[in-house]
Amino acid sequence: MLDQEAGAGVAAALGMAVGEPVIYVERLLRFNGETVVFDQIHLVTDLFAGLTLESLSGGDRSLYSLFENTYGVRMIHAEEHLRAVAADPYSAGLLGVQPGAPLLLVERTAYTYGNKPVEWRRGLYCTNRHYYRNDLG
């Protein structure tokens, strides 16, 4: 977990100025011991003051449950864009695939009340043995 300055893409997705602070988190999700998702998550810093790596990794509740119960930020809806991409060397190493292997890229912007964007996520999904299932309701 890092504090970063928002680049152009992150700033546009989160409705902020380039250079404003954001929280950046990388996480790996596993299924039956196999890494299947590499998430790169950007959060609006002001809403998640005090967020720690320990709180993110503690327990088996979802991130959105943590955000709502600890920070009072409820995700009301999300918009996703999906496309196929080739694994770059870094993500390939994390996901245990060869560079260039096909991955599903899911870019998600999550919104709270007032249609305010609070999270922009870039997820790379290894779908060679699994499929992407989406239930945002």
Decide yes or no: CATH 3.40.1410.10 for domain 2-125: yes
**Model pLDDT for residues 21-46, shown as the tens digit of each residue:** 999 999 999 988 899 999 999 999 99
The count of other CB atoms within 10 Å of the CB of residue 86 is 13
Q: Which of 77, 82, 91 is nearest to 131 (CA)?
A: 82
> Distance (Å, rounded) from C-alpha 41 to C-alpha 62?
14
Its pTM stands at 0.89
Q: Which of the residue ranges 6-15, 59-68, 121-130 has the most confident prediction, judged by mean pLDDT?
A: 6-15
**Model pLDDT for residues 98-110, shown as the tens digit of each residue:** 999 999 999 999 9
Put the strands of the sheet holding 2-5 in their side by side order: 2-5, 21-31, 34-44, 116-125, 102-112, 77-86
**Model pLDDT for residues 45-81, shown as the tens digit of each residue:** 999 988 888 888 766 678 888 899 889 999 999 999 9
